[in-house]
Amino acid sequence: MTYFYLALAVIFEVIGTSALQASEQFTKPKPLVLTAIGYGSAFYLLSMVLRTMPVGIAYAIWSGFGIILITFVGLIWFGQKLDLPAVIGLALIVAGVVTINLFSRTVAH
């Protein structure tokens, strides 16, 4: 269940961040409400993950996958383009998350 909760936390964080962008600096109330729900749900689910996973590892996975997913949302939904250094940086984030999950003894498999 730990990874299920972590996946849901990432999804809700991406929803919250996407809605934050759509709120246009808090000028649109509907996306603002969705932002609060998304972030509230994400942090609640992350707290559930912290029952069984160390905080540093959980946060690395949560933020890493969140960065990747919100980048795709920005690209597809908001039309935000990436340059080569950004793509390389994102690849390094993915490599870090994969390394943690495959090789770290800190993560319970």
pLDDT tens for the chain, 109 residues long, are: 999 999 999 999 999 999 999 999 999 999 999 999 999 999 999 999 999 999 988 988 898 899 999 999 999 999 999 999 999 999 999 898 888 878 887 765 5
Query: Coil, helix or strand for 77?
Result: coil
Residue 6 · residue 50 · CB < 8 Å: no
Residue 108 confidence (pLDDT): 59
Domain boundaries of the chain, sorted by first residue: 2-103
Q: What's the rounded Cα separation, in Å, for the pair 107 and 57? A: 7
Do you know the residue count of the chain? 109
